[in-house]
A and B are shown apart, each in its own frame.
Chain A
């Protein structure tokens, strides 16, 4: 399982694992979409009618992951869109340029208030996989 959920008393604790940093970022976007509206991105033939460009700089790799997901969440709320997919033009250690692709929706099933820095640490594990914990405030 590329991402899995772990217990947290009030919020949601997620672990994302990928063979590259880009895969972790992309899987985290998918996990977040699945939390917001389960199955929405997988339903029928994907029809990514909405696109958003995103450019971001952060102080380190972990912050870039958290800040990126925060931006995705913000755009989801403002555009009333669930983003299912991301294509990176650039994904460096502390900056990225990306295109988010998704679909409009009139309502979310779950309110993710925020993507927190709590416990987040993007690192390469001993088996060569990139991984991070992410805690969402619900």
Chain B
């Protein structure tokens, strides 16, 4: 149980830990959550970690957690922290080890009746063609020169190697490539970890899922996004794999070693950071961008494999499978947001938080600009996932951000004590959900009961005006590591 911290209610779904809660706080902590979720957020160390983040040099306005927040290691998961550009701190812990872990949604022209008798066949085909699990490599094998090209080009590398669709690039956050990526700033160890990992999911909470759209909440937004009732869509959740983990490990170690030179002694070493404009800060930012590009290339190649699988099982032309959008939820970006009413350039850390730019923002593809940026919120494997659209208040209040998932509430051990993998697989099967996974233990750890109620999470951000609800997705087949 976490310590009790004073909470002021600022609105129906917004709470504040005032700066008076701890002498080190430079800004207040803001917590977006409906009252029903408050106990879940208070039960672990998430709020203690939020206070630590609120104490970072250069932090602006407020340290924020979303309704899916839970305890992390250093920074809370589900958090947003913006620091002053160019001399505010950048911290690898504020992005996380899985750099550019993110989500993308593929749209098919199929509807439920087209697939209902072949869902299991599709799940097996997909499981055999998209490697999942730890330590399992894929069939795209790079040498170090090719790796450098991937790190520079991101998703475009996949397209130029006939492993992706050219029209996808417009619909990826930052078009699937951060221009400041510098492969020279990525260690050889990190590159070696990634040589056989393109086109692989990994394990943990990563997955590929076939979903059916079970509800439309906003007809205008759904039409703009190309979503309709009963449509079959494919949700992908993975990141930069071992390459990204190694980049984060390398730079955290570096920053632990040098932060003293910048007069920084955080309460938790996992918060280690340096000024963004310090040489180490710039090197990390450029290495992080390279890892982010690797993740976008990875999700593009996984999409290619899914398109092939859809063709094999449903005779679907790969060109008819369109990308709705691809968003990162572990990343740092330089963005303009208001501080004291003045547009200000900031270093926005999102760790388990999704960019959710509101209508009209020029970084949103023109096709969706009037509606808002598509936001993809994966739920747990037996519940719902959601498509949202970024809303104006995210820009005013949350540095253009919203939640990223349901958010865990039970430890992996506790989940395994409450439910067995075989029983859960069978129970989900009876609900019409086919699970293909590497181990029963892995299924149990990711059981729906281990997560918060995703409906409450999404309702919170909808009520807060951070993102509006567009559609609900119900899983039919889930591929996990």
**A binding-site residues for B, Cβ under 8 Å:** 5, 7-12, 36, 58-59, 63, 67, 70, 74, 77-78, 80, 105-111, 113-120, 135, 137-138
Contact = CB atoms under 8 A, between A and B. Distances in A.
Interface stretch (B130-138, B216-224, B459-467): B130-138
A34 to B, nearest CB: 13
Contacts of B46: 9
A25 to B, nearest CB: 17
Interface in B110-152: 133-136
A17 B78 CA distance: 32
A74 B193 contact: yes
A9 B193 contact: no
**Looking at chain A's contact residues, is the secondary structure mostly helix, strand, loop, or mixed?**
loop
Contacts of A116: 73-74, 270
Contact of B73 (A7, A63, A107, A118): A118
B71 A110 contact: no
B71 A70 contact: no
Given A10-B77, A80-B135, A106-B135, A117 B412 contact: no
A113 B245 contact: yes
B441 interface: yes
B202 A8 contact: no
- Interface SS majority for chain B: mixed
A108 B135 contact: yes
A110 B134 CA distance: 6
A111 B203 contact: yes
A9 B134 contact: no
B248 A114 contact: yes
A111 B249 contact: no
Contact of A10 (B71, B189, B253, B270): B71
Given A67-B253, A117-B269, A111 B134 contact: yes
Contact of B204 (A106, A111, A118): A111
A135 B441 contact: no
Contacts of A11: 72-73
A9 B69 CA distance: 10
